[in-house]
Amino acid sequence: MTVAVATPSFELALPEQRLRDSLGLLAKNKLALIGAVIGILFVIVGVVGLVVLWTPGLQHLYKQQDLLHSLAPPFTAGHLLGTDNFGEDVAWRIVAGVGISLGIGLAVAGLSVIFGLVVGATAGFLGGKVDALARAVLDLVWGFPLLLVAVIVVGVMGPGLPAVIVAVALVNWAGFARIIRAEAISIRQQEFMEAARALGVPRHVAIARHVIPNTIGSTLVMTTYYIAQTVIVEAGLSFVGLGAQFPTPSLGQLIYNGTSYMYNDVWLPVIPGIVITLIVLGLNTLGDGLRDIFDPRSRRS
């Protein structure tokens, strides 16, 4: 009698053929394709913004003041999107702000994925007291309002972008862990996992080689949602003075500064608001498309 050998789950979950099929499904899903295009543009602009932020020789692009042409409307005085009350180029400040949003979003998503994967996969696979303890911790953490956590973290660390990263990640990892835990419970009941246990595969190896790779679909979907959520939260906290501090060109701070001139120079708060809307809409649409691809049961007819 032969025993089925437990094949590494990554090959089971995403062989080359299935990856090609997934890309084909993405191309056929118009909303997902639009979201992917917007997401790619967001990444490109964000990378340019990070380069401008980190390169001293380029920081003048968003810092240089043209006081003779302050509050210039778009497409005038050599400024694509006009200037603010200090005469700083709005277009380059938005590019730098998108870079900050991208960096913050990736940092929060990375921390949430790392902690969420480890805790969720371990709790769901092991079960028993470990799962019960993890579930209690996750319910406790997930029950805290994000804004309350942000205020507490800012009170401890002080206003700034590091406080935003810590505050959002402290809550988001629990939500991600809850999803991974549910998937791990389902995966441990599959036949290939029973074969792995029969062959004496250690638990930590089974988690690393079989459970975590099989959650790649949920990981990608939740990553897009968390980046979009972080963009909104960072903009909101910066708007009320708890996030990025002047002169850091955060999108939320650009909206706040523009509200003082919105009756005469409406483009100042509206343009960064439109940018935030497009980023979030694109990432959420991409996430919906990825969900449809990796979970056939959720596909729209």
pLDDT in tens, 47-88: 999 999 899 888 889 988 888 888 888 988 788 898 898 889
pLDDT at 2: 40
Stronger pLDDT, 257 or 25, i.e. the higher one: 257
pTM, entire model: 0.81
Pick from 93, 33, 69: nearest CA to 275: 93
Phi then psi for residue 190, to 5 deg, are -75, 160
The count of C-alpha atoms lying within 13 angstroms of the C-alpha of 34, restricted to the half-sphere facing its C-beta, is 9
Phi then psi for residue 65, to 5 deg, are -100, 135
Domains of the chain: 26-298 (1.10.3720.10)
- Rounded Cα distance, 106 and 99, in Å: 11
pLDDT at 5: 39
pLDDT at 10: 40
Mean pLDDT of the chain: 82
Residues 244/253, Cβ–Cβ less than 8 Å: yes
Q: How confident is the model at residue 19 (pLDDT cuts 50, 70, 90)?
A: low
pLDDT at 247: 76
Q: Cβ contacts of residue 85 below 8 Å, gap of 6+?
A: 70, 71, 257, 260, 261
One-letter-per-residue 3-state SS of 242-299: CCCCCCCCCHHHHHHHHHCCCCCCCHHHHHHHHHHHHHHHHHHHHHHHHHHHHCHHHC
Residues 186/120, Cβ–Cβ less than 8 Å: no
Q: What letter represents residue 9's amino acid?
A: S
User: Model confidence over 192-247: pLDDT tens digits?
Assistant: 777 777 777 777 777 777 777 778 778 888 888 889 988 998 898 888 888 888 77
- Rounded Cα distance, 185 and 120, in Å: 10
pLDDT at 16: 52
pLDDT at 20: 63
Residues 177/167, Cβ–Cβ less than 8 Å: no
- Rounded Cα distance, 84 and 235, in Å: 18
Residues 101/182, Cβ–Cβ less than 8 Å: no
pLDDT at 291 over 70: yes
Pick from 218, 165, 227, 293: nearest CA to 38: 227
